Amino acid sequence: MASDTPDAGPVSSTLSIPACSEFPRHIAIVMDGNGRWARKRMLPRVAGHRRGLETVRRLVRQCLERGIPNLTLFAFSSENWRRPADEVSFLMKLLLRALHTEVLRLHANNIRLRVIGDISRFEPTLQQAITQAATLTAGNTALTLSIAANYGGRWDILQAVKRMQAANPALRDDFTEDDLTPYLSLGDLPEPDLFIRTGGEQRVSNFLLWQLAYAEYYFTDCLWPDFDEVAFDAALLSFRQRERRFGRTSEQLVPQRAAI
Ligand code: IPE
Ligand code: IPE
Ligand code: MG
């Protein structure tokens, strides 16, 4: 039964109305435009990826400063294997290097780091670095930083169904959203309130298909390496101006607004 009472926990936005506040509790970002940033400067595409990592570093700090507790970044999609082999290999090395150089700093800042996606396709050294980083930072509480790597939204839904059925063979086809949610990537977090895509494209590209059901979408032409604090604050301002109705009418929200 759908409830009308706002809930603070990681509940499904289609089953009960999530708690809403001025700042998103969870931001999910498609970091797009690295290649075009580099091309504009007559640089190789990989130079854009390198600069993109600097944006990530700055953004993590900006989230900490603003008290945003969950940040999920799309780093490599299940479709990005279709890119030229040398670019794929550079991206894998960049991810491994970033894990090595950043993890201690993230840990010192009380940040929990994890990777979502099918990591079984990665080199063993990368898989190990991912697992070690997650283990080291598992108890941290200031910010949960989830990096989506070899991630696809359809893969996520399928793996969740498979794992749920393996764990509960009795469920068969008689299961609910609540049964499935814990098996989805990010199932332990509130659903993203704000989805940002840089780089000018207005598509989801197989990112968090299930989890973005009621996110507010924000698209900007800004290329990812240029996505600075001013650009981030513009996205947050846009979010604050949205009316999140979750199926209700605007009039139904008026008493809530008066109570604030
Ligand atoms: C996003 O930038 C980063 C990854 C997909 C890894 P792109 O590499 O897609 O940059 P554009 O879209 O070509 O500019
Ligand atoms: C989406 O960006 C994936 C990441 C940002 C990692 P792409 O640049 O690969 O998306 P499409 O293929 O243009 O939609
Ligand atoms: Mg792109």
Closest CA to 52 of 233, 226, 229, 236: 226
Residue 201 Cα: closest atom of ligand 1? 12
Distance (Å, rounded) from C-alpha 101 to C-alpha 222?
Answer: 27
Question: Is the pLDDT assigned to residue 10 strictly greater than 90?
Answer: no
Sequence length of the chain is: 260
Does 160 or 1 have the greater pLDDT score?
A: 160
Q: How big is the CA angle at 68 (ends 65 and 72), to the nearest 5 degrees?
A: 120
Calculate the CA 178 to chain-centre distance: 21
Q: Is 34 a catalytic residue?
A: no
Ligand 2 atom 3, closest CA: 77
Residue 31 Cα: closest atom of ligand 2? 5
Of 32, 34, 70, 150, the active-site residue reads 32
Distance (Å, rounded) from C-alpha 151 to C-alpha 129?
Answer: 17
Q: Which pLDDT score is estimated for 8?
A: 44
Which top CATH class is 26-241? alpha beta
Does 236 or 13 have the greater pLDDT score?
A: 236
Hey, where are the domains in the chain?
26-241
Question: Is the pLDDT assigned to residue 174 strictly greater than 90?
Answer: no
Closest CA to 10 of 21, 26, 30: 26
Residue 49 tokens, joined: 């990826």
Question: Is the pLDDT assigned to residue 255 strictly greater than 80?
Answer: no
Q: Is 173 a catalytic residue?
A: no
Query: What is the tens place of the pLDDT at every residue in 54-81?
Result: 999 999 999 999 999 999 999 999 999 9
What ligand has the least distance to the C-alpha of 55? 1
- Residue 203 has φ and ψ, to the nearest 5°, of -150, 165
pTM of the model: 0.94
